[in-house]
Each structure stands twice: as structure tokens, then as C-alpha cells.
Amino acid sequence: MNLRAKFAFSIGFLGLLCLMLPRSAWADVVGTTVTGSLDFDSDNINFYVPAIGFVPAGYQNSAGAQDSNTVVIVGGNEFGFDDGFE
């Protein structure tokens, strides 16, 4: 195998590893408890707290789900924020 073919094989192999490794790392966090924080300035208001009023339904940190900015990762939509603007 010449140098050019070895180089092409190495790049392809590294690309394959990059595609595979992040997915396996994601599987390691499923089932763990995490705390989300979304703060736009120095006022220390966490917009992931459902009581603030900016968490839409359908997220784990929404009222009626886990109702907290601390959630268990299940691999779906853990944190949501909607200020009414797009």
C-alpha cells in the first residue's frame, strides 16, 4: 500500500471513529440527573426554572413533568425555553 492510500485509509478510519464515539458517550449519560441553567445576564434568573414562566409544555423541566430545572436524562427533550420570539 503506497503512502497516499495509507493516508486516505487513515482519514477514513478517523472519520468513522469520530462518528461512532460521540454516540457511545451520549449513552453514558442516560439515567443521570443534571441541572440546567439558562441565564442571559448577571441578574441570576435561571430561565429553565418552570416557575419563571418560559418553559413550554413537552419538556422534562416543564410544569407537569418533573417541574424542576433538575431532570433525569432520558435521551429526549430535557430542557426547553420559549420567550415568545423566534
Report the percentage of the chain scoring pLDDT > 70: 67
Residue 59, number of CB atoms within 10 A of its CB: 21
Cell numbers representing residue 6 in the block: 495509507
Shared domain check, 72 and 59: yes
Q: Which domain holds residue 17?
A: 1-27
Do 7 and 37 lie in one domain? The reply is no
How many domains is the chain built from?
Answer: 2
pTM (two decimals): 0.62
- For the segment 16-53, what is each residue's pLDDT rounded down to a tens digit? 655 665 555 555 777 888 888 888 887 888 888 899 99
Same domain for 41 and 77: yes
Same domain, 48 and 35: yes
Please tell me the distance from the alpha carbon of residue 36 to that of residue 39, in angstroms, as a whole number.
10
Residues 23 and 35 in one domain: no
